[in-house]
């Protein structure tokens, strides 16, 4: 009897160990459209900042993704990413009367209604932040029939969404994104910041995007925490 | 009572361990492998636009103690020692002390101090969040901001008229954070200086400043007489856009300004150039099926395209 119990516990322990081995890391997907001169620099700069950053007991794996089509983004990127970033063109239909969208490299439009379920991403839990670094990606709903990108992301489970309510320059968007992740990750100060605080700092340092960059959802969430002070 | 497993039992345990380990490895491959059709690209030679330099191996003209003192002279910061990093901005060509005062792991005040001059470039104070707006008159906001200007020793004659902006920190009714921002643009001999500005952030509930940024450009050497005309500059810019595959549809704005060339059209971030006189033009352009806006900066002395931006 004792032998059986001991063996059962051994087996259980080994199974639990095996489960812990297959635990997942977090994925951060960084998309860019190669038609924009600084979008690739933005993606690689974010890669450098965010790779191996911790979120609780797990770490980020950052995927830099060039010129993905709409189907790949919707099926293979959005449902998996804990943090999702896209540096691309964006716009709004019918001179502001329609819905806003993100444009892929192949001129396909991704609308709020295209966003899949984001409540159980790779590694578990909901997507923390989607940041659409594109023109008009952060426009708010004005007409009753509109369904904007931020609504799509928040309705599908993302905790926060960032985008520009108006047009934004490639150079300015690159500068802002860089500062934002630098402060949010803690690389700038040694302490990671909530996305609301990091946005507040970054828009002071890149004033041309001030009042243009919009944050929807919970501003107190953090995309990085749990690191130790290295100096 | 001790249990001594027989050789057979020990072997069974070893085999079981091997089986479970194999399952774990296979499982790890299945669950951890990326189901998506791409690979992580090599990014080993990328240079960051802002690099964190190790404080122990980096010599700065202004040491940490002095940098902290400079901030304390103009801002009420917590009494404890701040954390400090040295940040090298490879685009603006400046080195900063990045200081942060934290409470319970949260940054409450953060600041950037120029490590060569000791100038406090930036402060943001997170201790006060505004849930209400007690500002009755915009003049009150400007007056509050001007007090900060005075504290910083900045004279208004080099600045434009202040521009006041009221905005919400985030679009969420549950987490209201209202801010006012008073911004002055830098001027030189009546011309705007691109990238030169002073901005003060005001908390409208407590009616107190919660941050500022000072980015002034040394433009004393700049010759403000253009050697090429506005029409010549437009022609140069249009030809340049066509050579890059953009079809200029119309010019929407043309201004003479002073600025540091950003060399945007070279395609990768570079150290900005010395301040010079620029023709700054905005074009509506078509690229393939897309219509967007492109900004082109032409050096008003040499006629070279030295910068710009492309709207996303």
Q: In chain B, which residue's Cα lies nearest the Cα of A76?
A: B36
Count of other CB atoms within 10 angstroms of residue B96: 26
Minimum distance, in Å, between the CA of residue B228 and any CA atom of chain A? 26
How many angstroms separate the CA atoms of B254 and B237, rounded?
11
The predicted pLDDT at position A16 comes to 46
CA distances from B279 to A16, B194, B235, B294, B300 (A): 67, 11, 12, 14, 6
Contact status, residue A189 vs residue A179, Cβ threshold 8 Å: no
Q: What are the pLDDT digits (tens) for B213-256?
A: 999 999 988 999 999 999 999 999 999 999 999 999 999 999 99
Q: Name the residue range of residue A42's domain.
A: 25-217
What Å distances lie between residue A167 and A49, A213, B231, B292, CA to CA?
A: 26, 10, 27, 9
User: In this structure, is the dihedral angle defined by the CA atoms of residues A4, A9, A10 and A12, taken in order, positive or negative?
Assistant: positive
Of residues B74, B182, B206, the one with CA closest to residue B133: B206
Alpha carbon of B195 to those of B145, B159, B198, B206, B219: distances in Å? 20, 13, 10, 30, 12
**Mean predicted lDDT score pLDDT of chain B:** 87
Rounded to the nearest angstrom, the minimum Cα separation between A217 and chain B is 6
Q: Are residues A6 and B3, on separate chains, in Cβ contact within 8 Å?
A: yes
The answer to whether residue A200 neighbours chain B at the CB level (below 8 Å) is yes
The length of chain B in residues reads: 312
Q: What residues of chain B lie within 8 A of the CB of A89, using their CB? A: 290, 292, 312
- pLDDT at residue B35, rounded to an integer: 53
A169 interaction partners in chain B (CB closer than 8 Å): 295, 309-312
Q: Is the pLDDT of residue B168 over 70?
A: yes
Cα separation, B248 vs B114, whole angstroms: 41
Res A230: pLDDT: 39
Q: Does A97 touch chain B (CB under 8 A)?
A: no
**HSE-up (13 A, CA, CB side) for residue A75:** 8
Report yes or no on A14 lying in a domain: no
* Segment 159-188 of chain A within 8 Å of chain B by CB: 164, 167-175, 178-179, 182-183, 187-188
Residue A162, H or E segment: strand A160-164
CA distance B211 to B148: 9
Backbone angles phi, psi at B15, to 5 degrees: -60, -40
> What is d(CA A162, CA B6) in angstroms, rounded to the nearest whole number?
64
The domain segmentation of chain B, as residue ranges, is 50-215, 230-310
Q: What is the pLDDT along chain A (231 residues), one digit of tens a residue?
A: 555 655 565 555 455 444 444 445 899 999 999 989 899 999 999 998 998 899 988 899 999 999 999 999 999 999 999 999 999 999 999 988 999 999 999 999 999 999 999 999 999 999 999 999 999 999 999 999 999 999 999 999 999 999 999 999 999 999 999 999 999 999 999 899 999 999 999 999 998 898 899 999 998 899 998 654 433
E strands, chain B, in order: 50-53, 83-89, 94-103, 106-114, 120-125, 163-168, 178-188, 191-203, 208-215, 247-259, 276-287, 290-299, 305-310
> Predicted ipTM?
0.82
Q: How many domains does chain A have?
A: 1
The whole-number pLDDT of residue B42 equals 53
pLDDT at B177: 77
- The answer to whether the CB atoms of A47 and B43 lie below 8 A apart is yes
Helix, strand, or coil (residue B66): helix
HSE at residue B149, side-chain half, CA atoms within 13 A, is: 21
Residue A20's pLDDT is what? 46
CA-CA-CA-CA dihedral for B188, B311, B50, A129, to nearest 10: 130
Return contacts of A8-13, CB within 8 angstroms, 24+ apart: A10/B13, A10/B16, A11/B16, A11/B20
**Chain B residue nearest residue A26, CA to CA:** B32
d(CA A30, CA B304): 34
**What pLDDT shows up at residue A227?**
52
Q: Per-residue confidence at B171, pLDDT binned at 50, 70, 90? A: low
Q: Rounded CA gap, A171 and A112, in Å?
A: 26
Higher pLDDT, B64 or B13: B64
DSSP state string for B187-222? EETTEEEEEEEEEEEEETTTTEEEEEEEE----TT-
Tens digits of residue pLDDT in B12-46: 888 888 788 777 666 655 555 555 555 455 555 55
pLDDT at res. B40: 54
Cβ pairs A/B, distance under 8 A: 217
Tell me the average pLDDT across B286-304: 91
Domain annotation covers residue A5: no
Spatial contact of B64 and B97, defined as CB atoms under 8 Å apart: yes
Answer whether residue A117 is part of any domain. yes
Q: What's residue B101's pLDDT?
A: 95
The pTM (predicted TM-score) of the whole model is 0.85
Quick one: DSSP state of residue B41? Answer: P
Mark yes or no for CB contact B312/A15 under 8 Å.
no
Q: Is A89 helix (H, G, I), strand (E, B) or coil?
A: strand
A87 touches chain B (CB under 8 A): yes
CA angle B267, A50, A60 (to 5 degrees): 135
Say which CATH number the domain at A191 has.
Answer: 3.40.50.1460
């Amino acid at each position: 009897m004792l032998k059986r119990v001991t063996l059962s516990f051994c087996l259980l322990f080994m199974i639990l160990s095996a489960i812990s081995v297959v635990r997942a890391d977090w994925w951060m997907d960084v998309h860019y459209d190669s038609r924009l001169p600084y979008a690739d620099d933005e993606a690689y700069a974010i890669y450098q900042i965010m790779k191996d950053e911790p979120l609780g007991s797990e770490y980020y794996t950052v995927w830099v993704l060039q010129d993905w089509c709409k189907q790949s983004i919707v099926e293979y990127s959005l449902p998996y990413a804990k943090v999702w970033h896209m540096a691309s063109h964006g716009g709004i239909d019918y001179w502001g009367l329609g819905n806003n969208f993100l444009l892929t490299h192949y001129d396909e439009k991704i609308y709020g209604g295209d966003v899949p379920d984001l409540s159980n991403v790779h590694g578990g839990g909901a997507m923390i932040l989607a940041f659409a670094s594109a023109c008009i990606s952060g426009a708010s709903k004005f007409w009753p029939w509109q369904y904007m990108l931020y609504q799509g992301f928040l309705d599908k489970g993302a905790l926060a969404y960032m985008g520009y309510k108006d047009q934004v320059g490639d150079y300015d968007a690159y500068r802002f994104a860089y500062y934002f992740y630098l402060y949010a990750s803690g690389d700038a100060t040694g302490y990671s910041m909530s996305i609301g605080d990091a946005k507040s700092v970054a828009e002071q340092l890149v004033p041309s995007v001030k009042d243009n960059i919009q944050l929807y959802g919970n501003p107190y969430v953090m995309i990085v925490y749990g690191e130790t002070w290295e100096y | 009572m001790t249990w001594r497993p027989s050789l057979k039992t020990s072997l069974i345990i070893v085999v079981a361990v091997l089986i479970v380990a194999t399952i774990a490895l296979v499982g790890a491959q299945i669950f951890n492998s990326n189901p998506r059709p791409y690979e992580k690209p090599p990014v080993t030679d990328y240079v960051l636009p802002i690099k964190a330099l190790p404080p122990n191996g980096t010599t700065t003209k202004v040491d940490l103690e002095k940098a902290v003192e400079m901030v304390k002279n103009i801002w009420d910061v917590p009494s404890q020692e701040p954390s400090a990093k040295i940040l090298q901005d490879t685009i603006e060509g400046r080195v900063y002390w990045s200081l942060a005062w934290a409470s319970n792991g949260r940054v409450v005040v953060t600041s950037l101090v120029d490590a060569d001059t000791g100038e406090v470039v930036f402060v943001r104070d997170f201790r006060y969040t505004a849930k209400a707006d007690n500002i009755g008159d915009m003049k009150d906001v400007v007056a509050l901001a001007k007090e900060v200007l005075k504290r910083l020793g900045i004279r208004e004659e080099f600045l434009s008229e202040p521009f006041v902006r009221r905005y919400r920190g985030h679009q969420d009714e549950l987490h209201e954070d209202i801010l006012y921002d008073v911004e002055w643009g830098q001027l030189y001999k009546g011309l705007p200086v691109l990238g030169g500005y002073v901005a003060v952030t005001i908390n409208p509930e407590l009616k107190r400043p919660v941050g500022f940024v000072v980015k002034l450009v040394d433009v004393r050497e700049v010759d403000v007489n253009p050697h090429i005309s506005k029409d010549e500059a437009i022609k140069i810019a249009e030809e340049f856009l066509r050579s890059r595959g953009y079809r200029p549809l119309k010019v929407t704005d043309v201004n003479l300004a002073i600025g540091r060339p950003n060399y945007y059209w070279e395609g990768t971030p570079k150290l900005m150039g010395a301040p010079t006189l620029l023709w700054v033009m905005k074009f509506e352009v078509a690229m393939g099926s897309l219509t967007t806006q492109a900004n082109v900066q032409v050096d008003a002395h040499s006629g070279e395209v030295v910068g710009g931006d492309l709207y996303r």
